[in-house]
Structure 1
């Protein structure tokens, strides 16, 4: 059974990765602007003073301008740093664009490294995803970093995944360790999916 789920996830991830790869630079820029505005509004709505976010890669929905703006607004932004043991360390973002290449070739911050529990104090978590289904179940890219982080938090704040509109699906293959999110932010909307998780 588990192998069937893994196979289904792998196939779906490949399809989603290919779809993202077909977007033009103009489409990516337009999506990043719209997502940034929605994230700004979400931070204001939740009165979040401390958040965690991620530095988007070229194919992910853009978060970098949002992060820079949040820092300049005086919001404390924690950015993830991958570890070999499958956990995430964190660093406080500043408003320059300096990054380094992380463990899996992902962009990571260069600031002082804080341990995994640093994220326990945030008011809002903004996470990457490959897709999210209508029940709030999130499918990541297969390494499990955010599932482990969310699953280990004693008091988890609202968690929102940033995806493209076409990546909200009716249902997703799921495994025991998969963690749901409260909602999604896409270029066209902010959608609450599982408010009971708060």
Structure 2
């Protein structure tokens, strides 16, 4: 087996091991613990949105034990200035992401991989490029900003379309910001995370990229 193939296999195995461990820990948490964590994460993101006043935000609908709670899109939409829009991902057959506009919880439909997505018109894969704030799901993130997803590669492809200076933020549970994750060359770094205890934290030595939020725990790495 060529050396590069062996390295790729080792990386995939290492990622799988971390993913299994983190998801097991999430499942072991109680509903009350998840609800408390979601409220804190939402408060941090709302404070950030109200400070940035973006005209376009891209986010997602958390499912199961994902941080932020299933009502996260509605909470974010309620914090946006008048006329601003919230985009949500639409999973394509090739596992890439299209995007649709949030128009309320009643217009969300079940989709592949447990996702819930907007039922309205598709806006194209490049719609995310215009967002001023992108809220990204992950299983874990390291202090370089590299994220571990579910393994489908959807957000690896979507983030390539997001300009490097766009603020990308990952909601996490406590303990899911780690020193270092196994990474592949195509992995794209995010710029900040939100955790219930530490709030909004910037990554990769860039303490100035996230404005201070009124939730009160913003800081660098």
What TM-score, normalized by structure 2, do the two folds share? 0.83
Q: For residues 38 and 57 of structure 1, what CA distance do their matches in structure 2 show?
A: 19
Answer whether contact 1:20 1:59 (CA < 8 A) is retained: yes
Answer whether contact 2:145 2:203 (CA < 8 A) is retained: yes
In structure 2, which of residues 151, 156, 169 is the aligned counterpart of residue 147 of structure 1?
156
The answer to whether structure 1 residue 9 and structure 2 residue 19 are counterparts is no
Q: What is the deviation of 1:90? A: 0.6
Aligned to 2:128: 119
| Comparing 43-52 and 54-63, the one that deviates more | 43-52
The answer to whether structure 1 residue 182 and structure 2 residue 169 are counterparts is no
Aligned to 1:160: 169
Q: For residues 56 and 142 of structure 1, what CA distance do their matches in structure 2 show?
A: 16
**Aligned alpha-carbon RMSD (Å):** 1.8
Aligned to 2:217: none
- 1:1-198 aligned at under 5 Å gives the runs 1-72=7-78, 73=80, 74=82, 75-154=84-163, 157-188=166-197, 189-194=199-204, 195=206
- Measured at CA, do residues 98 and 149 of structure 1 come closer, stay the same or move farther in structure 2, by a change above 3 Å? same
Instruction: In structure 1, list runs of 5 or more residues that go unmatched.
Output: none
Q: What is the deviation of 1:108? A: 1.7
Q: For residues 41 and 50 of structure 1, what CA distance do their matches in structure 2 show?
A: 16
Number of equivalences: 197
Is the radius of gyration larger for structure 1 or structure 2? 2
What TM-score, normalized by structure 1, do the two folds share? 0.92
Q: What is the deviation of 1:154? A: 4.6
Q: What is the deviation of 1:2? A: 1.1
Instruction: In structure 2, list runs of 5 or more residues that go unmatched.
Output: 1-6, 210-221
Residues 77-109 of structure 1 deviation map (CA, whole Å, 9 limit, x = unaligned): 100011122321111112334422212232222
Q: What is the deviation of 1:43? A: 1.3
